[in-house]
Amino acid sequence: MEHVPLSWYLILSAVLFALGVAGFIYRKSVLTVFMSIELMLNAVNLSFISFSYELQRIDGQIYSFFVMVVAAAEAAVGLAIILTIFKNRGTLQIDEVDSMKL
Amino acid sequence: MNLWLIVFFPLIGFLLNALWGRRLPKAVITIIGVGSVAASFIYVLAVLSKLYPLNTPYSQHYFTWIQSGFLNVGFDLVIDRLSAVMLLIVTGVGLLIHIYSIGYMEHEGGYYRFFSYLNLFTFFMLILVLASNLLLLFVGWEGVGLCSYLLVSFYFHETWATNSGNKAFIVNRIGDFGFSLGIFLAVAMFRTLDFGKMATAVSALPVEAGFGTLAVLTLLLFAGATGKSAQIPLYVWLPDAMAAPTPVSALIHAATMVTAGVYMVARLSFLYDHAPAAMEIVAIVGLFTAVLGATIGITQNDIKKVFAYSTVSQLGYMFLGVGVGAYSAGIFHLMTHAFFKALLFLGAGSIIHGLSGEQDLRHMGGLRKAMPITFVTLGIASLAISGVPGFSGFFSKDAILAAAYAHAHWMFWVGATTAGITAFYVFRAYFLAFFGDYRGHHHPHESPLTMTVPLMLLAALSFGGGYFNVPAWLAAMYPIAEHENMTPVIVSATFGIIGIIIAAFLYVFRPGTAESLKNAAGGLYKLVYNKYYVDELYQAAVVKPLKGIARVVLWKGVDEGLVDSGIVNGFGRAIRGWGSVLRHFQSGSIRNYATWVLAGCLLVIFAIGLFGGGR
């Protein structure tokens, strides 16, 4: 039985990443934007793992663990920030959070 | 034997008084200020007695100051017979004036400041005299100019004093610009600034027939001298410099600094000897300055102004002397002038001190009873400057006029007439101050001993100074031309005595005649009284146009137009413009930022794809 070729994984990874980017830019809720970021990270993880398997090298897996750790930490901080925004402003509409300028 | 010690003492005096003088008691300031010059004077005497008879110059090299390409300028001091004379004048007369200042400045503010400036002046003057190359001489030259400025503006809270100080400084800048050009030309010509090496180099050249490079060089240096030594056309600062306290007028503006130009010409005689065209100009400028100063001196009413114009006039004589090649006569007159002119100023200071600041001759009169010592000493000085036989001025002025007679008869006759005018205006001031009835309203009193003792010593020198035979002492450096003709001696002495007699007639025996003469002269008197309107002429011809150019072109045009609104504000405008474009990137919207991040990423990926990655 023939195994799945590398290109399929990479195409899947690219599609997932593009979906993440699109969600990051076009979704209106801060929470969804945040989830899109996670999606992008996982898309990258997928390509890391694929290359690791294909090339029979361990580095890719190590990197994906790194990314997962960072993603977990980011989730903790990010969710805390989102909670605070909601508490202070009563909304999670990203266009209404526009005070990031002088 | 260390020559540097001579200049070192006044420097230390200056530093001590300048740094801590404010907190020191007056007695200590006096000891430092006067003691440093006294130490210098004593050390000069010790050095000279050891070096006597000083047949060859004695020089010391301390360190290399500038070493650049072919040019090597060292900090070298040299004593020869010429600088020996100058050293004795600067430290000796300087010491007497320092002592005099103790009394004169007693009730004035800024006692420590005064003495620190005087010490600094002495330091620079000694550098000027001892320097063995042109650049070191220039250091002293500029330094004394600075001290002159500081001391003329001594009463800095008065506008007239600071204006006079500025005038002295700026007018000197003009001359010194010429002087520095002269130095550059000397570097280009001789590739050295050392006097000895320059003399060797120039002796190989022929004497210039027409108007050549050497004439240009010497005239550029002479331009500096016209500034420093108050000659036409830059003499205008000296009368205004009388804003300084009187001891300063005596020390700087009569005895020492203003003679620096004469000293410089004598020091560089080897250059001037090779440029007869320049010599002729020096002599003519000196002669005309002598006439101009003397005639203005007749009409002035401020006693210090009379003596100031007299200084201008006498400096003219010295340049006439060096201009006709009688360097030793010029230096001789420089020395006797230092004695009698310092005495005239100090005597005037004594009168001013005794009259609580009164300087106007019209408010003096009959002072001979109240101030007997001043009366006698000032009389000796007046006789000396008038060239009465037996007094010092007679010998030196005679030496100059005899040389002028040998050079060109007309120069002698003009000079001799000026000698008569000199005698007249000096005795006019003398008679107005000491004879007749007292016309002021202060209570005249004789000055304290610290002031009268220097007066008496200077009176002795003014009388006997002529018996130091300076031309003979300098004969090895400047050969004496023998003038057997007795005509100039007799004529000039006679003119002097006639001048005194006329002054006595007009101001002692027939007072009132002068007034009617003045009215008879009318416009001529007015012209001379207003100093030939030279100040007004300079104001209209030089100062006003310069101010106009400065205001319209430099200030409004270059500074405000180009620098301010063009460059400085231009930068501001450009950055503001860029900023107004770039500020749109910072919208505050997260979505916007995210788009830019994405665009940046794409750009980086694109660039890597285009130019290749890290490998």
Q: Which range, of B215-224, B406-415, B508-517, averages the lowest pLDDT?
A: B508-517
Please determine, for residue B13, whether its predicted confidence score (pLDDT) is greater than 80: yes
CA B312, CA B310: separation in Å to the nearest integer? Answer: 5
pLDDT tens for each residue of A47-95: 999 999 989 999 999 999 999 999 999 999 999 999 998 998 888 888 7
**Angle between helix B409-434 and B392-407 (nearest 10):** 160
CA B105, CA B155: separation in Å to the nearest integer? Answer: 12
Count of CB pairs separated by less than 8 Å, A with B: 26
pLDDT tens for each residue of B116-171: 999 999 999 999 999 999 999 999 999 999 999 999 999 999 999 999 999 999 99
| Domains: count for chain A | 1
Does residue A74 sit within a domain? yes
- Mean pLDDT value of segment B240-258: 91
Task: Name the residue of chain A whose CA is nearest to B595's CA.
Answer: A25
Please determine, for residue B283, whether its predicted confidence score (pLDDT) is greater than 90: yes
What pLDDT does residue B615 have?
57
Across the interface, do A95 and B591 touch by the CB < 8 Å criterion? yes
Across the interface, do B589 and A102 touch by the CB < 8 Å criterion? no
**Interacting residues of B146 by C-beta distance below 8 A, sequence separation 6+:** B124
Does residue A35 sit within a domain? yes
Note whether B339 and B454 are within 8 A (CB). Answer: no
Tell me which residue in B588, B593, B595 faces A99 most closely, judged by beta carbons. B588
| Rounded percentage of chain B residues whose pLDDT exceeds 90 | 63
Q: Cβ contacts (< 8 Å) between A98 and chain B: which residues? A: 587-590
Tell me which residue in A25, A33, A95 faces B595 most closely, judged by beta carbons. A25
- For testing contact with chain A, the best of B591, B592, B601, B605 (most A CBs within 10 A): B591
Q: Cβ contacts (< 8 Å) between A32 and chain B: which residues? A: none
What pLDDT does residue B163 have?
93
Task: Name the residue of chain A whose CA is nearest to B601's CA.
Answer: A21
Please determine, for residue B112, whether its predicted confidence score (pLDDT) is greater than 70: yes
pLDDT band at B365 (very low <50, low <70, confident <90, very high): confident
Does residue A100 sit within a domain? no
Residue B168's nearest CA partner among B284, B308, B296 is B308
Q: From the CA atom positions of chain B, what is the Rg in Å? A: 30
Across the interface, do B594 and A25 touch by the CB < 8 Å criterion? yes
The count of residues in chain A is 102
Please determine, for residue B585, whether its predicted confidence score (pLDDT) is greater than 90: no
**Nearest C-alpha of chain A: how many angstroms from B109?**
59
- Average pLDDT of every residue of chain B: 90
Tokens representing residue B117 in the block = 């400036």
- Mean pLDDT value of segment B453-468: 91
**Interacting residues of B592 by C-beta distance below 8 A, sequence separation 6+:** none
Across the interface, do A21 and B590 touch by the CB < 8 Å criterion? no
The ipTM, to two decimals, is 0.79
Q: Cβ contacts (< 8 Å) between A25 and chain B: which residues? A: 591, 594-595, 598
What range defines the domain where residue A33 resides? 27-91
What pLDDT does residue B593 have?
83
Does residue A12 sit within a domain? no
Sign (positive or negative) of CA dihedral B434, B437, B439, B442: positive
Task: Name the residue of chain A whose CA is nearest to B588's CA.
Answer: A100
Note whether B90 and B129 are within 8 A (CB). Answer: yes
Please determine, for residue B510, whether its predicted confidence score (pLDDT) is greater than 90: no
Does residue A98 sit within a domain? no
SS3 state at B57: coil
Give how far the C-alpha of residue B304 lies from the chain's centroid of Cα atoms, to the nearest Å: 16
Does residue A61 sit within a domain? yes
Across the interface, do B590 and A94 touch by the CB < 8 Å criterion? yes
CA B405, CA B590: separation in Å to the nearest integer? Answer: 101
Tell me which residue in B588, B594, B595 faces A98 most closely, judged by beta carbons. B588
Tell me which residue in B586, B587, B591 faces A94 most closely, judged by beta carbons. B591
Does residue A3 sit within a domain? no
Backbone angles phi, psi at B381, to 5 degrees: -65, -40
What pLDDT does residue B479 have?
83
Q: Cβ contacts (< 8 Å) between A33 and chain B: which residues? A: 590
Backbone angles phi, psi at B256, to 5 degrees: -115, -70
Across the interface, do A25 and B591 touch by the CB < 8 Å criterion? yes
The CA-based dihedral angle spanning residues B255, B258, B262, B263, taken in that order and rounded to the nearest 10 degrees: 70
**Interacting residues of B344 by C-beta distance below 8 A, sequence separation 6+:** B254, B307, B310, B378, B381, B382, B385, B426
Across the interface, do A21 and B598 touch by the CB < 8 Å criterion? yes
Q: Which range, of B227-241, B411-425, B511-525, averages the lowest pLDDT?
A: B511-525
Please determine, for residue A101, whether its predicted confidence score (pLDDT) is greater than 80: no
Please determine, for residue A1, whether its predicted confidence score (pLDDT) is greater than 60: no
| Rounded percentage of chain A residues whose pLDDT exceeds 70 | 96
Please determine, for residue B464, whether its predicted confidence score (pLDDT) is greater than 70: yes
The CA-based dihedral angle spanning residues B22, B23, B27, B32, taken in that order and rounded to the nearest 10 degrees: -70
- Average pLDDT of every residue of chain A: 89
Tell me which residue in A21, A33, A101 faces B587 most closely, judged by beta carbons. A101
pLDDT, greater one: B508 or B606: B606
**Nearest C-alpha of chain B: how many angstroms from A28?**
9
With an 8 Å Cβ cutoff, the interface of chain A facing chain B consists of 21, 24-25, 33, 94-95, 97-102
**Nearest C-alpha of chain A: how many angstroms from B588?**
4
Across the interface, do B590 and A102 touch by the CB < 8 Å criterion? no
- Mean pLDDT value of segment B593-604: 88
Q: Concatenated DSSP letters for A3-60?
A: PPPHHHHHHHHHHHHHHHHHHHHH--BHHHHHHHHHHHHHHHHHHHHHHHHHHT-SHH
| Rounded percentage of chain B residues whose pLDDT exceeds 70 | 99
Across the interface, do B594 and A97 touch by the CB < 8 Å criterion? no
Across the interface, do B590 and A101 touch by the CB < 8 Å criterion? no
What pLDDT does residue B613 have?
64
Tell me which residue in A24, A33, A95 faces B589 most closely, judged by beta carbons. A95
Please determine, for residue B512, whether its predicted confidence score (pLDDT) is greater than 60: yes
What's the CATH code of the domain at A62?
1.10.287.3510
Q: Which range, of A28-32, B339-343, B526-530, B544-548, averages the lowest pLDDT?
A: B526-530
**Nearest C-alpha of chain A: how many angstroms from B582?**
13
